[in-house]
Amino acid sequence: MEVGRLPISASQRGKLISAGYTTLASLSSLSPSDLARDLKIRESEALEILKVASHDCRLDQPEKSNGIFTGAQTAWEMLHEEQSFPRITTSCADLDNILGGGINCKEVTEIGGVPGIGKTQLGIQLAVNVQIPVDFGGLGGKAVYIDTEGSFMVERALQIAEASVVDMSHYNELLRKELRTCQVEIQPTDILKNIFYFRICSYTEQIALINHLDKFILEHKDVKIVIIDSVTFHFRQDFEDLALRTRLLGGMALKLMNLANKYNLAVVIFNQVTTKHKEGSFQLSLALGDSWSHCSTNRVILYWNGDERNAHIDKSPSLKSASAPFSVTRKGIRNSASNHKRIKLM
């Protein structure tokens, strides 16, 4: 049974899921003090949650089991669990809409596009938005940002973080008018402190870091998104043995998928584009070949439509093929507008 069906408040369920506690089994060996620390709540509140979970676990447990394997889920439970997961907003309503509400946890999302389309801008936006507190509909998590190209700009991250805090303050004003309120305690500098940045200079460093992420996230359980910008760069430089490259990429993709599922986090990998001869003409396609195209859950392609940026769902098992416009503004990723096209950001 998953925690999304526990008879506790929506806020408590959201905090449990955001902290990685998605099933009753994950709560079975916890002490109230440990749960209180992970959820940032009072110990008495954590004790009540554990009591409810323990009661529901006894009701859900069969009287006798002779099976060797445990932890099986029904398809209904999987669907309910998936629907209860909070998503990471892109700050663009149209883009969120075609993504089913935003970037989903437990999945690997690949985003590719031509230079200057806004891949790094979107990556920074997601690293900021994953930190939106649970009370504001976010995950209240932290981000790992792996930069292989040197395109991450801390000044730009601060600019987007400042805009995010302003947006939360405006949202708080709306809640106050409805006689509800959520205290905006997070500051732009706090957001920067919660982005773990790694600069990678070779494909061997990239593989070594991916192998290290399991241990790193185990020590930083509040990490809710891993961003790689870009996965392509070092694997397109001086790599003559394509069979070796395919094996290395396949192993790396498998580790990323396991991380997403094990720690209930989102993995977002950015990709470059290349040209591909198809049906008598050259067309743009994402780099690293056909084998790599099967390594992600969702695939999103960013492209120009005139002067307007667009995102297209190219592949997904749960999302329909659709496109949506978006803008890169001084505040970050936003809905498309005629005065937000190819502007100078800094």
pLDDT tens figures, 106-132: 999 999 999 999 999 999 999 999 999
Look up residue 31 and give its two tokens: 């002490």
Phi, psi of 253 (to 5 degrees): -60, -40
Least confident piece of the model among 5-14, 102-111, 220-229, 266-275: 5-14
In the three-class reduction of DSSP (H, G, I as helix; E, B as strand; rest coil), residue 145 is classed as: strand
Residue 2: the pLDDT is: 65
- pLDDT tens track for 125-149: 999 999 999 888 889 999 999 999 9
d(C-alpha 160, C-alpha 254), whole Å: 32
CATH 3.40.50.300 fits 87-345, yes or no: yes
Asked if residue 340 has pLDDT above 60, the reply is: no
Look up residue 333 and give its two tokens: 């990723």
Least confident piece of the model among 66-80, 178-192, 217-231, 271-285: 66-80
H or E element in which residue 266 lies = strand 266-271
Cβ within 8 Å of residue 92, ≥6 positions away: 324, 326, 327, 333, 334, 335, 336
Residue 165: the pLDDT is: 92
d(C-alpha 177, C-alpha 54), whole Å: 39
Mean pLDDT of 288-310: 84
In sequence order, the β-bridge partners of residue 310 are 303, 325
Task: Grade residue 68 by pLDDT with cuts at 50, 70 and 90.
Answer: very low
Mean pLDDT of 86-101: 94
Asked if residue 343 has pLDDT above 60, the reply is: no
Most confident option among 12-16, 20-24, 155-159, 238-242? 155-159
Task: Grade residue 1 by pLDDT with cuts at 50, 70 and 90.
Answer: low
* 137 Cα distance to chain centroid: 14
Buried (b) or exposed (e) across 208-231, using 16+ Cβ within 10 A? ebbeebeeebeeebbbbbbbbbbb
Look up residue 80 and give its two tokens: 């309910």
Phi, psi of 326 (to 5 degrees): -150, 165
Residue 231: the pLDDT is: 87
Residue 346: the pLDDT is: 47
d(C-alpha 141, C-alpha 162), whole Å: 17
Fold equal for 2-81 and 87-345: no
Asked if residue 173 has pLDDT above 70, the reply is: no
Asked if residue 183 has pLDDT above 70, the reply is: no
Most confident option among 56-60, 136-140, 307-311? 307-311
Angle between helices 119-129 and 154-177 (to 10 degrees): 50
Q: Where are the domains of the chain?
A: 2-81, 87-345
Angle between helices 10-18 and 32-39 (to 10 degrees): 90
Mean pLDDT of 265-272: 93
* Mean model confidence pLDDT for the chain: 84
Percent of the chain whose pLDDT exceeds 90: 44
What is the pTM for the complete model shown? 0.76
Residue 12: the pLDDT is: 84
d(C-alpha 193, C-alpha 339), whole Å: 32
Asked if residue 287 has pLDDT above 50, the reply is: yes
- pLDDT tens track for 236-267: 776 777 778 788 888 888 899 999 999 999 99
The domain 2-81 is placed in CATH, from the list 3.40.50, 2.60.40, 1.10.1060, 1.10.150, at 1.10.150
Residue 77: the pLDDT is: 74
Can you spell out the DSSP letters for 115-130? TTSSHHHHHHHHHHHT
Asked if residue 296 has pLDDT above 90, the reply is: no
Cα torsion angle, 82, 84, 90, 93, sign: positive
Task: Grade residue 180 by pLDDT with cuts at 50, 70 and 90.
Answer: low
d(C-alpha 160, C-alpha 150), whole Å: 18
d(C-alpha 41, C-alpha 22), whole Å: 18
d(C-alpha 262, C-alpha 256), whole Å: 10
Residue 220: the pLDDT is: 93
Closest CA to 125 of 89, 75, 170, 174: 89
Residue 214: the pLDDT is: 93
Phi, psi of 103 (to 5 degrees): -75, 125
Instruction: Characterize the bridge pairing of strands 142-147 and 223-229.
Output: parallel
